[in-house]
């Protein structure tokens, strides 16, 4: 009986019904770290006997893959594969599959939730009132404001549609813009600099840059509107945090909301504890619906690849 490794935290406790597709197909499931991300050592201990791997966001390094003598496919339960050494996988003829768009709705809805939390200071108001302090912070309404979307794929397009429904104007930047997507006269593709200069709120929905270089650094922050808000449900490395903290401290950036961290949980909580930062523990795709879509897509992709190998 061939082994399949299962590591996504939403699946690795072994109780998701879609896992039955794998056992019904005759595979033995291996859960190296139920309910949490596996370490490199835990993966190394089991990967040598596996033909398939349903993967989460844990790092899958060349050193780990070097031990994968039988592995034929890595199937992500999401779209990001920057956690995988793709060159090492290619050298070993390991196919990588993605669950395209499975969690787009969940991430897009969380983005809107973070926007509302930021513009109305909901977390701060909640904390102060629970501390028996009556502290009212004036917010602003979304209607008529400009939202800048960096990365207008499936998630970005949903966010654009939601924002337009609030009466916002939407500017989008994408390296490969879909010119067929034109949901409103209030939507426009623009250059990145134009977007940063003119947006009250900027939201990130793009993959990380090469070598995890920041997309938003000191120069980009300097041209943004004073009091702007940044939402990051994509990758922590997209924003240079040292420059960001300086902008938050000076009031140049009013609020930063982040849902994705390079290491989860993070080792350094200094940014998390900043008074002008809103944080969530990577819950964008953590809805019942997104989990089901991602699980089904990842498992179906894995089985299809193994059948055709």
Q: State the catalytic residues.
A: 235, 264, 282
Asked whether the bond before 110 is cis by omega within 30 degrees of 0, the reply is: no
The DSSP-derived string for the chain is --EEEE--TTTTTS--GGGHHHHHTTPEEE-SSTTSPPPHHHHHHHGGGEEEEEE-SS-B-HHHHTT-SS--EEEESSS--TTB-HHHHHHTT-EEE--TTTTHHHHHHHHHHHHHHHHTTHHHHHHHHHTT---------STT-EEEEE--SHHHHHHHHHHHHTT-EEEEE-SS--TT----TTEEE--HHHHHHH-SEEEE-SPPPGGG--SB-HHHHHHSPTTEEEEESS-GGGB-HHHHHHHHHHTSEEEEEE---SSSS-S--TTTT-TTEEE-SS-TT-SHHHHHHHHHHHHHHHHHHHHH-
Q: Measure the N-to-C terminal CA separation of the chain; round to a whole number of Å.
A: 17
Instruction: Give the strand pairing for 201-204 and 187-189.
Output: unpaired
Here the tokens at position 308 are 């055709």
Selection from 59, 175, 58, 166 nearest residue 111 by Cα: 166
Q: How far apart are CA 8 and CA 54, in angstroms?
A: 7
């Amino acid at each position: 009986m061939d082994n399949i490794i299962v590591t996504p935290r939403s699946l690795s406790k072994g109780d998701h019904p879609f896992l039955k597709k794998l056992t019904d197909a005759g595979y033995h499931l291996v859960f190296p770290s139920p309910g949490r991300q596996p370490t490199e050592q835990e993966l190394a201990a089991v990967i040598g006997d596996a033909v398939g791997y349903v993967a989460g966001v844990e790092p899958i390094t060349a050193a780990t893959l070097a031990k994968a003598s039988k592995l034929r496919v890595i199937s992500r339960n999401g779209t990001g594969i920057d956690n995988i050494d793709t060159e090492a996988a290619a050298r070993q003829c390991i196919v990588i599959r993605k669950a395209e768009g499975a969690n787009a709705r969940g991430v897009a809805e969380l983005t809107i939730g973070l926007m509302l939390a930021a513009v109305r200071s909901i977390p701060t108001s909640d904390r102060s009132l629970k501390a028996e302090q009556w502290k009212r912070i004036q917010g602003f309404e979304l209607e008529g404001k400009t939202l800048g979307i960096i990365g207008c794929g499936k998630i970005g397009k949903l966010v654009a549609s939601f924002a337009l429904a609030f009466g916002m104007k939407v500017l989008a930047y994408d390296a490969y813009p879909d010119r067929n997507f034109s949901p409103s006269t209030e939507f426009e593709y623009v250059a990145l600099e134009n977007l940063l200069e003119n947006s009250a709120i900027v939201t990130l929905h793009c993959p990380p840059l090469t070598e995890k270089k920041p997309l938003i650094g000191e120069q980009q922050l300097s041209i943004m509107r004073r009091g702007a808000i940044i939402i990051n449900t994509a990758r922590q490395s997209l924003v240079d945090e040292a420059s960001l903290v300086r902008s938050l401290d000076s009031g140049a950036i009013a609020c930063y909301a982040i849902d994705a961290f390079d290491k989860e949980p993070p080792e350094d909580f200094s940014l998390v504890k900043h008074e002008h930062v809103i944080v969530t523990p990577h819950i964008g795709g953590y809805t019942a619906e997104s989990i089901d879509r991602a699980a089904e897509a990842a498992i179906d992709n894995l089985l299809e690849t193994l059948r055709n190998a």
